[in-house]
Structure 1
Amino acid sequence: MRTRSIPPSDDAQDALLAARVGTAIAEQRRARGLTQAKLAEMIDLEQEAISRWERGTRVPTLHRLQQLSDALDCSVDQLLQRGSKRPDDQMAAIADALEGLDNDERLLVVNFVQQLAEMLRGKHRSKSSRRK
């Protein structure tokens, strides 16, 4: 008997998004060598607010997201895309991961992703052929 999956509630979706945005803020901040206190100072805010955002217990307002993107020298999209299921967002995340790598390193990562994707596609093909 097959059971239907129940979609998560709006509250659960909001909590998940808050956690993903918080992780993105923390990653961008650390990548720039900033402390929570320094980032808070840059946008005229208390350090505790940055901590709450990074822990996912609170979500920044749109105005604060824009301030964060300016202070962290990234786009608002980069703060919101983390963990997205949209292929375009996932490709953008991979492109971001390639930044700062030299040509050989980027080629290594691209080859790895291609080989892994092909291996997973093969796994899916073999599962579907066994079901028939």
Structure 2
Amino acid sequence: MALNHVIGKAIAKYRKQANLSQEQLAEALGIGYEAVSRMERGVVIPTVDRLIEIAEIVGCPVTELLSQTSPRPSDEVVYLHQLLSSLSSANKQWLMEQIEAWAQKLK
């Protein structure tokens, strides 16, 4: 998936988690909601300054908008750790077993 689409999906995800509509995010950014829609669909890629603004508005570190797009193993590990951190030990173990099984099937 292209970088602009992955960043767009991350923006949409965190906007929704912040319970903001595209219109509300656009208003906070001082732009039209169509511009937010284009970013989220990956039609355009926001500038670094705009990404920082978006991160502040939706309440996430800017690295969250970028780390999900990074192919670097260290960023992937951080992202997976964040996903797993809220799970119980039993659920983490179950999920790791599922991931191992899927990884074997997909080789």
| Band of TM-score, shorter chain | 0.7 to 0.9
* Offset from partner CA, 1:67-92 (integer Å, 9 cap, x none): 01110111111111224322222222
Q: Choose 1 or 2 for highest CA Rg.
A: 1
So what's the TM-score if we normalise by structure 2? 0.83
The question of 1:106 aligning with 2:81 is answered no
Deviation for aligned residue 1:32: 1.1
| Structure 1 residue runs of 4 or more that deviate by more than 6 Å after TM superposition | none
So what's the TM-score if we normalise by structure 1? 0.69
Percent of aligned pairs with the same amino acid: 31
> Which runs of 5 or more structure 1 residues have no equivalent in the other structure?
1-14, 128-132
- What count of residue pairs does the alignment treat as equivalent? 106
Determine which of 82, 89, 97 is the counterpart of 1:115: 97
Deviation for aligned residue 1:42: 1.1
Which residue type is aligned with residue 26 of structure 2?
A
Distance 1:115 1:17 in 2: 30
Ranked by relative contact order (alpha carbons within 8 Å, sequence separation 6 or more), the top structure is 2
| Pairing 1:37-116 to 2, within 5 Å after superposition | 37-98=23-84, 101=86, 105-116=87-98
Distance 1:39 1:109 in 2: 34
